[in-house]
Amino acid sequence: MKETVEEQQDFVKDITKMSDDFDRWYTDVVRKAELADWSGVRGMMVVRPYGWAMWEAITRAFDDMIKESGHENWAFPLLIPRSYLMKEAEHVEGFAPEVAWVTRAGGDMEELEEPLAVRPTSETIIGALIKRYIQSHRDLPKLTNQWNSVVRWEMRSRLFLRSREFWWQEGHTFHASGQEAMEEAQLILGYYRSIAEDWLAVPVLSGKKTPAETFPGAVYTLTVEGLMRDGLALQMGTSHYFGQNFARAYDISFSNKANERELCYSTSWGISTRLVGAIVMAHGDDSGLLVPPKVAPVQVVVVPIFRDDASRIKVEGFIDGWGRELKAAGIRHRVDWRDERPGDKYAHWELKGVPLRLNVGARDVDAGQVELVDRLSRERRAVPVAGIAARLQAELAAFQTKLFERAQKYQRDNTFELSTLDEVIAHFRERSGFVWAPWCDDAECEARIKTETGGVTIRTIDSDEKASGKCLVCGKPAEHRVALAKAY
Amino acid sequence: MKETVEEQQDFVKDITKMSDDFDRWYTDVVRKAELADWSGVRGMMVVRPYGWAMWEAITRAFDDMIKESGHENWAFPLLIPRSYLMKEAEHVEGFAPEVAWVTRAGGDMEELEEPLAVRPTSETIIGALIKRYIQSHRDLPKLTNQWNSVVRWEMRSRLFLRSREFWWQEGHTFHASGQEAMEEAQLILGYYRSIAEDWLAVPVLSGKKTPAETFPGAVYTLTVEGLMRDGLALQMGTSHYFGQNFARAYDISFSNKANERELCYSTSWGISTRLVGAIVMAHGDDSGLLVPPKVAPVQVVVVPIFRDDASRIKVEGFIDGWGRELKAAGIRHRVDWRDERPGDKYAHWELKGVPLRLNVGARDVDAGQVELVDRLSRERRAVPVAGIAARLQAELAAFQTKLFERAQKYQRDNTFELSTLDEVIAHFRERSGFVWAPWCDDAECEARIKTETGGVTIRTIDSDEKASGKCLVCGKPAEHRVALAKAY
C-alpha cells in the first residue's frame, strides 16, 4: 500500500466535492484512495490491494456463512461451449448480447469448431455438469458455490459497479423440492442482508423483484437494495429461484422416494466486487472514504510525531510496546513512518477512511497516553495506553454501530410514502431516495413509471401480502406495496 | 461431498492397482475419490469440493506466508491485448502457441479491433500496468500477487497436471536492485519448499533450472521438484528472476537515490492446483489417497456402528458428547451416518485418504472409548474418549510427520549417484528416480541426455558451486552436479 510520489502529492489536493459532482467525487475517491483504476484494456479494471483487501474480508465472512450451512466450493470451467449457453431460451436472450467469445487458439490462432463463451455466469455449464453427480434424492441437495471473475461486454462503465470483468461468488444449488429450493433462496438473501448490514454497515430493503426485473430464466429474483449518499439505490446482491426451468433445459433429474424420475429445483445467487463501490457510496464524505471496521484493511493507523532523532526513538519504543498488544488482539493496524508531515498523513488516512487514528508525540509518551481521533466525529481524545487493545476493540465495535446508525438515519430521512404517479414524478424531479407506493402488479403500469419519471424503477416488492390502496398509476386496487428509486 | 448412487457402488469396486498401471490408477483415484473430473469442454476440468478444499488449504497457508512478508493481493484483468503480449520476444515465443483468443464480443458477435488473449500468465499485463504505480525508489519494492485461473491450449491432458485451465497464484514483484529481486526469488523458493514439505509432506530437491528449462524471458528459474511414487519427478513450484528483461520490454523504471531513471528488477513465481495431483501421486496406494492432515478436508472420520434404533441412539449421544470437543479444537471431522455397511464406509474413507478413522459401537460407549485406525498403519487401537481432542491433535501431527518420513525414505531409496551417460541410460531402462551426475554446463550435452535416454531431463542444478568430476556426457571437467529424472 505504498503510494507513488505523484499520488502522495495528490493526497493534499482536494478531491471533487461530493455535493459538486457525485460521479466525479466517486471516481476521485476510488482512484486516490487506491481501491481500483481502469486498466487500459477497455472497460476492464485493476483492483489494487486496498480495494482487494475489502473484497477479501467480504469473501471470508460470506464463505464462512455458506460453509456453516453445508455449501461447498467447486471450480467449474471458465469457457463455455456456445451450444451449452443456448439451451435455456430466456437465459440466452438475457446474456448473449454481453458475451465475449473465444474463437481461436494455439500457435496459428486456429479457428475453433465451436466458439467458447468466457463465462458471463455459470448456470449453463453447471447445469450441464452437475447432472452427472445427481442420481437419487439421496444425492440432494447439491449446494455448490464458486469464487471467480466473469466477463460481460458492457458498454457503459463505472469502477466496481459496471465493468467488463468483475469478481464475485456464484452459488448454484439443486434440490428435491421447490419448497426446499425456495427456502435456500431465502436463506441466502438473509446472508446477503447480513453482509450488507452487519459487515458493510449499509441498511437494505429486501424482497422480490418484479417479473420485468427478474433474472433471465428465473421464476423469481430476491434482492437486497441499499441507498447511496446521492439518493440512488444500489442492488447489492440477488438470489434467484428457478423452479425446474434450468433442470428442464439441462435435463437434471433425480429418482425421488417413489422411485420416479423428477426434475430438480434449483437456485443461483451472487454478490460481487460491486460491494466495494457500495462502501464508498454509502459512507464516504468530502474527505474521502469511511470504511466499516469489520472490512477495513487498516482499522487503526498510528501517526508518530517527532522533531528529532531522540524524540523519534522515544516515540518508536513507546509504540513498539503496545503495538504488539494490538497485533495479538488481531487489530489490523499500521504505523505510518513515511517521510511526510503529520497533517498530510492525517489527510491521507482520512481519504482512505481508516476508522481510528492514533497521534503519538513525545509528550504522549511521558503521559502514557495517545491521542485518539475517529473518522466519524474527528474529535480528539486522550486515551491511556494501559489496556489499549481492549479499548480500541470497543471503539471499533462502536464505530461500526455508529456508521450503521448514521446510514439508517440517512435511509429513514430519504424514504417516502406516496400514492400517485404525479406525486412520484414531482418527487424525483426534486430529490431521490426510496419511495413506497401501491402498485397493481401490471407490467404496463410499471413501464409507465419508468418512462414518465425518466428511469425510476421498482426496486423491490414489500412482501407477498396484498397491499391496501390503489395503484399509483392506473388507480385500480393495488396488489403490492413497492419501493421505487433511481438506481445504478 | 455426497456421492451419487453410481459412485457409492464404485467405492467397493477395485480401483486399478498402482503397480498394474500407474496412469490408470491415478485417474481412478482422482475421479473416485471425487477430486476432479473432465468437464466435457475439451481439456478443461471441473474441480470437485474434496479436491478444491485441499487447494483452499494450500492457498490459506501460502497467502499467510506472503502477507507476513509484505506481499499484497491485486486483481489484474483476465483478458490481455495481443500487443501487450508481443513485447517481450522470448516470452511471446514461449506462450503464443498456447493462447486462447477472444476475437468477438457482444450481441452480434462483432469482431474486436484487437484480439484479446485469455491470460496464460500475467507478466505482460502487469508489466504494462504496474509502471503507473512506480515513480521513485520509495515506491519499491512492489510485491504483488493474485489468485486466479489461467488458460493454456495444451494438447496433452492429465487431471490436475496438465489441463487447458488451471488455478494458481502468480506473484510478480518489482525491486530497486537485482540483489533484492534475487533474494525475493529465493525467499519464495523457501516458501514453496515449506508448502511441499511441511504442508504436503513431499520432500523436494530445490535449485536452479538449466537455461534450456528456464521460463521464457527469465534470467534464471528456481524450482522445487518432488518424486512421485512411479519414480517420476514433478515440478511443484517455480520462482523466476527476470533481471531487467521485463522492465526493459514494458519500460518499468524508477528514479533511484541519485535521482537517475533506472529500470526495475523483477521476479515472478507460481504454484498451482497441480499440487493436488502431487498429493495423490506422492502418497497414494492401492486403496486410494493418503492426505496429509494439514491439508485434509476431513482429518477424522467417525463411523458409527449399530444394529438397531436403541443402539443407534446410544452411539449418537456418545459421539455428540465429544464431537463438540473436536469442533472446538478445530479438528475437521465428519460423522458418516449414511445408510451403508461399515465395511463399505471404511473402504470409502480409505479411498478418500482421511488420516484417522474412529469406529464407534455400543460396546465402545460402555467402555468410554473409541477404536482408532490410522490410514498409514491401519492398526486398530482402543482409545479412551477422555481428552480425545488433544489425543487426536497429537495423532494428526504424528501422522503428518510419518507421512513425510515415509516419503523421505522413498526419495532416499530412489536417488542415485552415477557418472556416465551409459550408466544413466542403463539406469533409466530399468528404473526411475533421481540420478545425480556431474555436468559440464553445455547445452548440447544436456540435449544428448534427453535424446539418448528417451526423455530424461535435468530437473535442477545442485548449487552454484563448481562440481568435481567429469561431465557424464562429454567427459570434460564438470561445472555442476545436476539431478536427472523423467518428469511429468
Residue A1 has pLDDT above 50, yes or no: no
Answer yes or no: do B149 and A75 touch at CB < 8 A.
yes
Angle in degrees, CA A56, A57, A62, rounded to 5: 95
- Identify all chain B residues contacting A118, using CB atoms and an 8 Å cutoff: 78-79, 102, 118
Answer yes or no: do B46 and A129 touch at CB < 8 A.
yes
Residue B145 has pLDDT above 80, yes or no: yes
Choose the closest CB to B78 out of A5, A81, A149. A149
Q: Determine contact, residues B339/B386, Cβ cutoff 8 Å.
A: no
pLDDT score of B322: 95
Last residue of a domain, one of B226, B248, B283: B283
Answer yes or no: do B106 and A153 touch at CB < 8 A.
yes
Answer yes or no: do A106 and B97 touch at CB < 8 A.
yes
pLDDT score of B14: 73
Does B79 share its domain with B153?
A: yes
pLDDT score of B93: 84
Interchain CB contacts (distance < 8 Å): A and B? 184
Q: How far apart are CA A267 and CA B329, in angstroms?
A: 34
Kindly give the interhelix angle for B443-453 and B421-430, rounded to the nearest 10 degrees: 30
Q: Please state the rounded mean pLDDT for residues A315-322.
A: 96
Last residue of a domain, one of B225, B256, B283: B283
Answer yes or no: do A77 and B41 touch at CB < 8 A.
yes
Tens digit of pLDDT for each residue in B51-68? 999 999 999 999 999 999
* Minimal C-alpha gap between B105 and chain A (Å): 4
Q: Please state the rounded mean pLDDT for residues A345-356.
A: 97
* Minimal C-alpha gap between B236 and chain A (Å): 21
What's the complex ipTM?
Answer: 0.95
Does B146 share its domain with B86?
A: yes
Number of domains in chain B: 3
Q: Determine contact, residues B217/B90, Cβ cutoff 8 Å.
A: yes
Q: Is residue A5 part of a domain?
A: no
* Minimal C-alpha gap between A6 and chain B (Å): 8
* Minimal C-alpha gap between A251 and chain B (Å): 16
Amino acid at B57: A
Kindly give the interhelix angle for A274-283 and A388-413, rounded to the nearest 10 degrees: 80
Does B222 share its domain with B313?
A: no
Amino acid at B237: G
- Identify all chain A residues contacting B73, using CB atoms and an 8 Å cutoff: 49, 52-53, 56
Q: CB under 8 Å, gap of 24 or more: what pairs does B366-370 form? A: B370/B302
Q: Please state the rounded mean pLDDT for residues A185-208.
A: 98
pLDDT score of A13: 59
Residue A7 pLDDT level (bands cut at 50, 70, 90):
very low
Q: Determine contact, residues A39/A165, Cβ cutoff 8 Å.
A: no
Q: Please name the residue ranges forming H helices in A173-213.
A: 178-194
Q: How far apart are CA B273 and CA B144, in angstroms?
A: 20
Residue B28 has pLDDT above 90, yes or no: yes
**Percent of chain B with pLDDT strictly greater than 70:** 97
Tens digit of pLDDT for each residue in A211-269? 999 999 999 999 999 999 999 999 999 999 999 999 999 999 999 999 999 999 999 99
Does B347 share its domain with B472?
A: no
Answer yes or no: do B115 and A133 touch at CB < 8 A.
no
Does B155 share its domain with B70?
A: yes
pLDDT score of B9: 43
- Identify all chain B residues contacting A39, using CB atoms and an 8 Å cutoff: 76-77, 125, 129
Residue A265: in which H helix or E strand, if any?
strand A265-272
- Identify all chain B residues contacting A40, using CB atoms and an 8 Å cutoff: 128-129
Comparing alpha-carbon positions, the chain A residue that sits nearest to B338 is: A138
- Identify all chain A residues contacting B119, using CB atoms and an 8 Å cutoff: none
Instruction: Give the residue from A132, A133, A335 with the most B CB atoms within 10 Å of its CB, the best one to mutate.
Output: A133
SS3 A130: helix
Answer yes or no: do A103 and B104 touch at CB < 8 A.
yes
Instruction: Give the residue from A8, A32, A41, A261 with the most B CB atoms within 10 Å of its CB, the best one to mutate.
Output: A41
Q: Is residue A328 part of a domain?
A: yes
Provide the domain limits for residue A317: 300-395
Residue B271 pLDDT level (bands cut at 50, 70, 90):
very high
In the DSSP assignment, the letter for residue A140 is -
Does A19 share its domain with A119?
A: yes
Residue A86 pLDDT level (bands cut at 50, 70, 90):
confident
- CATH number at B254 reads 3.30.930.10
Does B130 share its domain with B59?
A: yes
Q: Is residue B472 part of a domain?
A: yes
Answer yes or no: do A103 and B99 touch at CB < 8 A.
no
Residue B13 pLDDT level (bands cut at 50, 70, 90):
low
Q: Is residue A36 part of a domain?
A: yes
Residue A8 has pLDDT above 70, yes or no: no
Instruction: Give the residue from A2, A66, A273 with the most B CB atoms within 10 Å of its CB, the best one to mutate.
Output: A2
Comparing alpha-carbon positions, the chain A residue that sits nearest to B40 is: A129
Answer yes or no: do A129 and B98 touch at CB < 8 A.
no
Answer yes or no: do A52 and B73 touch at CB < 8 A.
yes
- CATH number at B328 reads 3.40.50.800
Does B92 share its domain with B133?
A: yes
Q: Please state the rounded mean pLDDT for residues A174-188.
A: 98
Cα-to-chain-centroid distance, residue B396: 21
* Minimal C-alpha gap between A73 and chain B (Å): 6
The overall average pLDDT reported for chain A is 94
Choose the closest CB to A39 out of B45, B129, B135. B129
* Minimal C-alpha gap between A44 and chain B (Å): 6
- Identify all chain A residues contacting B42, using CB atoms and an 8 Å cutoff: none
Closest-CA residue to B201 (of B355, B1, B11, B46): B355
Does B31 share its domain with B96?
A: yes
Number of residues written out for chain B = 488
Q: Is residue A295 part of a domain?
A: no
Does A23 share its domain with A118?
A: yes
Q: Is residue A244 part of a domain?
A: yes
Answer yes or no: do B107 and A97 touch at CB < 8 A.
yes
* Minimal C-alpha gap between A201 and chain B (Å): 24
Q: Facing residues of B238 across strands? A: B223, B270
Instruction: Give the residue from B46, B125, B143 with the most A CB atoms within 10 Å of its CB, the best one to mutate.
Output: B46
SS3 A165: strand
Does B125 share its domain with B262?
A: yes
- Identify all chain A residues contacting B3, using CB atoms and an 8 Å cutoff: 139
Tens digit of pLDDT for each residue in B443-486? 999 999 999 999 999 999 998 788 889 999 999 999 999 999 99
Residue A198 has pLDDT above 60, yes or no: yes
- Identify all chain B residues contacting A149, using CB atoms and an 8 Å cutoff: 75, 78, 148
pLDDT score of A99: 96
Instruction: Give the residue from A67, A78, A149 with the most B CB atoms within 10 Å of its CB, the best one to mutate.
Output: A78
pLDDT score of A96: 84
What CA–CA distances, in Å, run from A163 to A197, A352, B149, B180, B326?
25, 23, 19, 36, 45
Does A37 share its domain with A115?
A: yes
Tens digit of pLDDT for each residue in B177-225? 999 999 999 999 999 999 999 999 999 999 999 999 999 999 999 999 9
Answer yes or no: do B46 and A77 touch at CB < 8 A.
yes
Comparing alpha-carbon positions, the chain A residue that sits nearest to B164 is: A77
Question: Which residues make Cβ contacts (< 8 Å) with residue B367, sequence separation at least 6?
Answer: B382
Q: Is residue A294 part of a domain?
A: no
pLDDT score of B58: 98
Choose the closest CB to B106 out of A49, A56, A97. A97
Comparing alpha-carbon positions, the chain A residue that sits nearest to B45 is: A77
Residue A23, Cβ neighbours under 10 Å: how many?
10
* Minimal C-alpha gap between B250 and chain A (Å): 14
Answer yes or no: do A109 and B116 touch at CB < 8 A.
no
Q: Is residue A2 part of a domain?
A: no
pLDDT score of B107: 82
Last residue of a domain, one of B249, B283, B317: B283
Comparing alpha-carbon positions, the chain B residue that sits nearest to A7 is: B133
Whether this prediction's pTM lies above 0.90 is answered by: yes
Tens digit of pLDDT for each residue in A136-149? 999 999 999 999 99
Residue B10 has pLDDT above 50, yes or no: no
Answer yes or no: do A105 and B46 touch at CB < 8 A.
no
- Identify all chain A residues contacting B273, using CB atoms and an 8 Å cutoff: 75
**Percent of chain A with pLDDT strictly greater than 70:** 97
- Identify all chain A residues contacting B149, using CB atoms and an 8 Å cutoff: 75, 78, 148
Torsion of CA B227, B228, B231, B236, to 10 degrees: -50
Comparing alpha-carbon positions, the chain A residue that sits nearest to B52 is: A74
Cα end-to-end span (Å), chain B:
29
pLDDT score of B254: 98
Choose the closest CB to B5 out of A40, A135, A144. A135
- Identify all chain B residues contacting A79, using CB atoms and an 8 Å cutoff: 41, 44, 100, 118, 151, 164-165
pLDDT score of B11: 45
- CATH number at A434 reads 3.30.110.30
Answer yes or no: do A78 and B149 touch at CB < 8 A.
yes
Tens digit of pLDDT for each residue in B272-320? 999 999 999 999 999 999 999 999 999 999 999 999 999 999 999 999 9
User: Per the structure block, which three cell numbers stand in for B322?
Assistant: 465429544
Cα-to-chain-centroid distance, residue B10: 27
The overall average pLDDT reported for chain B is 94
Choose the closest CB to B139 out of A4, A46, A116. A4
